[in-house]
Structure 1
Amino acid sequence: MATPKLGWVIYNGHLGGKKFLDFAEWMQRAAKTQNINMKIIKNNALLGVVGTANGLLQESEDMPDFVVFSDKDIPLAQQLETLGIPLFNSSRSIALCDNKILMYQALAAADIAIPKTIIAPKIFPGTLPVQLDTFEPAIAELGFPMIVKEAFGSFGEQVYLIETKEQLHKKIKEIGTEPFVLQEYIHTSHGRDIRINVVGGQVVASMIRESDTDFRANVSRGGSMQPYTPSEKEAELAIAAAHTVGTNFAGVDLLFGPQGEPIVCEVNSNAHIRSIFDCTGVDVSDAIMSHIKEMLS
């Protein structure tokens, strides 16, 4: 009998809250059914050592055959890859999804439908006050309301619905030197979207999320959820988006366009899976581990 493979699932040890450990525990349970030994590791238990043969100060003597990387510690992910360890998802795909500017650029380059998006210019700390007239062309292009979205953020946070020029100027000042985009507001998708979990190029679960109180439909912000069967066009778009950013598994969020056409809101390389299980009864971790086992065989 073949020796069981050893995997690590890495999560961020500094983040409080059960939901960050939750995914790791689900992956560990799914791995057991595949005869895979999976160890849960905090990212801060691993210190990358640059320029040495070892490359890593780890808490375990046994290096893994693969890693499920459920964090956004991209330098650590890259360090593991320099050691020849396969990562699911790869450091590149995590980096693309973590930075929404890079994500939208990658999707647009592949002709994936996204809202009209304008990148705010970089501002260095300690420089002159923000030159607000810089954004006049963006206002003329997008109009109001518009969406302002910081490049880094999760669970619908750091996403703002802006109704007026005064609100825009105030929000830009608040954001300060953080990177962000200005984006077309898709009014036909106000308070609702579709979450599609894609694993190995296949749709494995899907739900529609709706909110009566917020323009964002995130369940973490009080949105409700119902099982949803995506159309062929919606499924194809979600699969194409997940493939474009290089993910083995992802949660793809789609908006409803003015003519009912699907538009990619974003691709989540580190999507949590409990909510979609609660909604659909589908345990996405099983599909993820089956895909990983297939990739390693």
Structure 2
Amino acid sequence: MKPSMCWIIYNGNLNSAKFTDFAQWMARAAEDAGITPILIKNNELLPLLHERKLLLAGKETELPAFVIFGDKDLFLARQLELLGIPVYNSAETIERCDHKGKMYQALAAQGLPLPKTIIAPKIFHTLSNDDHLALFTAHLSFPLVIKEAYGSFGMQVYLVHNETELREKVAALGATEYIVQEMITSSWGKDIRLNVVGGQVIAAMQRSSETDFRANITAGGRSMPYDPSDEEVALAIACASAVNAAFAGVDLLFGPDGSPIVCEINSNAHIRSIYECTQIDVAPAMIAHIQSDLARRNGMIG
């Protein structure tokens, strides 16, 4: 039996076209596949815990066959899963990708190539000392990159040129969680984005910037279609597998010898930019993969 209705969750407090655009884009793909989509803001559907029961506050309709979760509200995603609803991507995948420290640990555990990375110590309240900075500079050379644990679109990422800047940035971050990485200078201002769906690369583009070490389009980068090598394809697929992602936007850097290095994995990758660059619509492949996965779960295939 094919699924007839799905929910598409998106953030109700971020008034950006990027978030509503993704939800509407996925809704069109669902409709084309004969599935009725219902768009729901995360602040319209809350986890309700009452009398030893898991409930949902704010939605009185029947539960969907599945949920496309275009947000990072982990408690809501987990509540839906605990109610027996398949969620794409899963709460576990979103959590791994959303926190950069967790993401890089998952990648390193699989032996995947990534920049040398140090996860900063947990700090409560205000910064009382900076003894750990000596460990940063003992293992990493300037310039180095500081990334806040939570951040998207290349934001909350900082280039640090010397020890003075390092101390100033760490002091400014205070108790904010962050990681510190070597700067891959061979990939300055350029990277590639590969959209992986169901263990296959569906589309790829190269992004570049002439004015910034970051290549993100939101930060002013430009894009062009890209034909990835077998090594890049294999690495992108391995990255998605490492975080158990049904679909993901995998960003790779160009290593000094030309081999790919993982930059990051996006479990909630927006798909308009890659469509405008490549004319490849990733959404139908995402819906098709969900349908296939639901059939597998129901014992209809495999």
Aligned equivalent of 2:154? 156
Q: 1:4 to 1:107 in 2, by over 3 A?
A: closer
For residues 124-181 of structure 1, the C-alpha deviation after alignment (integer angstroms, 9 at most, x for no partner) is 014xx44223211211211100011110000000111100000000000111101111
Amino acid at match of 1:57: A
TM-score by length of 2: 0.95
Q: In the TM superposition, what is the alpha-carbon distance from 1:94 to its structure 2 partner? A: 0.1
Structure 1: how far apart are the matches of 2:155 and 2:171? 17
Q: In the TM superposition, what is the alpha-carbon distance from 1:49 to its structure 2 partner? A: 1.2
Q: In the TM superposition, what is the alpha-carbon distance from 1:54 to its structure 2 partner? A: 5.0
Structure 2: how far apart are the matches of 1:163 and 1:148? 11
Residue 240 of structure 1 aligns to a residue in which SS? helix
Amino acid at match of 2:35: I
Q: How does 1:101-116 map to 2 (within 5 A)?
A: 101-116=101-116
Is 1:44 the equivalent of 2:23?
Answer: no
For residues 61-90 of structure 1, the C-alpha deviation after alignment (integer angstroms, 9 at most, x for no partner) is 211110000000001100111100000000
- Count of residue pairs the alignment pairs up: 294
Structure 1: how far apart are the matches of 2:199 and 2:2? 28
Aligned equivalent of 1:266? 264
Structure 1: how far apart are the matches of 2:6 and 2:108? 34
Q: How does 1:23-62 map to 2 (within 5 A)?
A: 23-51=22-50, 52-53=52-53, 55-62=55-62
Structure 2 unaligned segments of length 5 or more: list them.
296-302
Amino acid at match of 1:176: G
Question: Percent sequence identity over matched residues?
Answer: 52
Aligned equivalent of 1:74? 74
For residues 69-120 of structure 1, the C-alpha deviation after alignment (integer angstroms, 9 at most, x for no partner) is 0000001100111100000000000000000000000000000111000011
Structure 2: how far apart are the matches of 1:211 and 1:293? 38
Aligned Cα root-mean-square deviation (Å):
1.1
Aligned equivalent of 2:210? 212
Structure 2: how far apart are the matches of 1:4 and 1:147? 45
Which of 112, 131, 134 does residue 132 from structure 2 map onto? 134
Contact 1:93–1:245 under 8 Å retained in 2: yes
Aligned equivalent of 1:121? 121
Q: How does 1:190-209 map to 2 (within 5 A)?
A: 190-209=188-207
- Which stretches of structure 1, 4 residues or more, deviate above 6 A after TM superposition? none
Amino acid at match of 2:88: F
Structure 1: how far apart are the matches of 2:232 and 2:243? 17
Contact 1:130–1:173 under 8 Å retained in 2: no
Contact 1:200–1:291 under 8 Å retained in 2: yes
TM-score by length of 1: 0.97
Which of 178, 181, 189 does residue 180 from structure 1 map onto? 178
For residues 235-285 of structure 1, the C-alpha deviation after alignment (integer angstroms, 9 at most, x for no partner) is 000000011101000000000001011000000000100000000001111
